[in-house]
Structures are given as structure tokens and as C-alpha cells.
Amino acid sequence: TDRKKLHTAPVGQVFRLRPFHVLVATGGGYAGYRKYEDYKLEQLEKRGIEVPVKLASEWEVALYKSVPTRLLSRAWGRLNQVELPTWLRKPVYSLYIWTFGVNMKEAAVEDLHHYRNLSEFFRRKLKPQARPVCGVHSVISPSDGKILNFGQVKNCEVEQVKGVTYSLESFLGPRISTEEMHFNRAPPGNSFQQQLVTKEGNELYHCVIYLAPGDYHCFHSPTDWTVSHRRHFPGSLMSVNPGVARWIKELFCHNERVVLTGDWKHGFFSLTAVGATNVGSIRIYFDQDLHTNSPSYSKGSYNDFSFISNNNKEGIPMRKGEHLGEFNLGSTIVLIFEAPKDFKFNLKAGQKIRFGEALGSL
């Protein structure tokens, strides 16, 4: 008679999975996987071991491109804009911070409850003093990230990572008409690379910066220059992390990207924002007509827009360090520019860099 009653429930109710449980389990598993992958790469870098290049075959690339990454990225973008309950914000953002090593002490607003959704958290602003802009060197890093590659452009080929190249012309698209540029065009018989170099004795240089999901997601002007033209390639939205960049040749030419071209004091200058999986949104602050990852645009085409008009003969002037645009999540910035032969990069491949730090100078 002293026994207590035991209340039972059907087995189906006891083990029924709820969406929140699935979210926590999936997020936790992915976080652990990312930590393990980062640990392996760190160990290889510390030991000075280079990961051997193993390129994907044509059928592997075709299979990857068949995945509806553009549709998935649009869905992810809508999910990111869903307002989270106040009580859920801190655990969700804390998991993201732990997974990708986000430094919230640099954020203008450190309180996690302030960010209503994931999109606001991704696009968080920094404290003004967090990124001092180098005033000594002529070219600074436009963003936080990791240096994948840099150097001179040779034989119309650019390295996306060491040993893996892509075509300069495929990446930038056909040469822009001379009416939209401030400088004279090279003779048409020259190679595409030679046509970009406008001053005798200059060379063409490139630098590739990978933005990880935990990095600051805005990008800025890397130097004082004038933007004359924008070219938008709809493209695919494959991952651009260093592992995939080593695996797929011409990855940056496959993916959606926004190419800004113009000139600086030494001639041709371009900045390209390359999209990636879940980065369907590339925003350029002064370009309200740009709409990336739109279903109205088909792959394999490109859309041009000139900032030079009857009312604006010069284009869009940009000062070094000025806000230029932003990504959702993380992606890649590619700089391709003309400079004298004595231009030197102050970099090492694989190093971490922050917006405002020097890339190189004369």
C-alpha cells in the first residue's frame, strides 16, 4: 500500500523528436565536424606539410554543379531572416561563435540578444578602433580572411590556390569598352593580360582572400581608386573553402561573382566578390540595381552596368578603407590590379589577415 503510482506514456510520445532537438543535434554535430577539420588543417600547417593537389574530374564537377545550391542558398537566406525568440538567441549564436571562433569583443554590439536573426548577426559591425587602416602601404586588405594566394599574373592564368589556376579572361569576362575606362586600351593583337596593362613597365598582380564564416563579413576599398564598371556573373554557388579550391579547377569562374573594375594611380584595378554556398547575397553599397542569386538570371551569362554617364564622367571614387559591400556568411575576395614591377607583397600564403592591414606597396 506504500508504493507510489508510476505514470507511463506511450513509447512514441517518449521518443518523439521535436524540431528544436533536431536543430541542436544537427548544429552540434556540424560544429564538432568543423572543429575536427580545422584541427587537422592547423596540424598540417604547423608541421609545414602541403596538402597535395587532387583535381576533380569533369563528371565530379558536373555532379556538384547539379546540386541546387542557388535554390538552397535562397532558402538559407530566408531562414536567416526569421526572427529568433529572445531566449533562443544566445544559445544559437554561442554555438556559432564556438564553431567558427568569432571574436565578439570586437563587435560594436556584444550583447547577443541584440541580433534579431542570423542575418543581422552575420553582418554585425565592428567597433571603430577594432580595424585601424594602414596609411603607409598603398594597398590594404579589403576584408578579414585568409590569404590563399598572391603574386604576378602569368600567361593569362591566375592561381586560386597553389598549383590550381583559372583563366583570367574567363574570370573577368571580355574586355570592357574604352569609353567606360579612364585610360587607353592596348593594341587588340595583344593577349588579354597585356590589354589590361596600360602603362609600359607595369605588371599585373593578384591576391585571393578567403573569408571564413566566422570572419567580419563586410569588405572595404583596398586603395584609393575609381570604380567605372560592374559585371555580375550569376553562376553556381559552390563552396569556396580552401579544400574545395584545391579540388575544383576554375572554381571562381564557375561561381556567381560581382566584378568591379576601374583604375587607380598605377592603371587598371579590379575587386571581385565571389559568392559561395549559402552566400546568395552579395551587396555593393553604392549599387542599388545589383540583385545577386536571383531566379531571373540564368547561369552562363553576365550583366554589365556602367557607372560612367553623361552626368558622371568619372565613375565612383573610393577612398582606402571606405565601406564597399558585404556578404552573408563568408566567401572570397579577388584583387587583380596593375602596378610597377617593384611592387612587393608583404604576405605569406596561408596567413590570417584583417581588414586594414597591409597587402603590399611600392
- pLDDT, tens digit only, all 362 positions of the chain: 565 555 555 545 544 555 545 544 554 554 455 456 556 666 666 676 666 667 878 888 888 878 887 788 778 778 888 899 999 999 999 998 998 889 999 999 999 999 999 888 888 889 988 899 988 888 999 999 999 999 999 888 888 877 788 889 999 998 876 445 555 555 555 788 888 998 888 999 999 999 988 888 899 999 999 999 999 998 888 888 777 888 888 888 888 899 999 999 999 999 999 988 776 678 999 998 888 877 766 666 788 999 987 777 789 999 999 999 998 777 899 999 999 999 999 898 889 999 999 998 88
Determine the 3-state secondary structure of 261 from DSSP. strand
**pLDDT score recorded for residue 27:** 47
Residues 6 or more apart whose Cβ sits within 8 Å of residue 85: none
Report residue 20: phi and psi, to 5°: -65, -40
> Are 246 and 53 spatial neighbours (Cβ–Cβ below 8 Å)?
yes
Let me know the angle formed at the C-alpha of 183 by 178 and 186, rounded to the nearest 5 degrees: 70
Residues 6 or more apart whose Cβ sits within 8 Å of residue 72: 237, 277, 278
**pLDDT score recorded for residue 20:** 47
**pLDDT score recorded for residue 23:** 47
Residues 6 or more apart whose Cβ sits within 8 Å of residue 204: 152, 153, 193, 196, 197, 268, 336, 337, 338
Q: Which residues are catalytic?
A: 144, 220, 331
Instruction: Characterize the bridge pairing of strands 157-161 and 332-340.
Output: unpaired
Q: Which residues of the chain form beta strands (DSSP E)?
A: 139-140, 145-152, 157-161, 164-167, 202-210, 218-220, 225-233, 257-264, 267-274, 282-284, 303-306, 316-318, 323-327, 332-340, 344-345, 352-353, 358-361
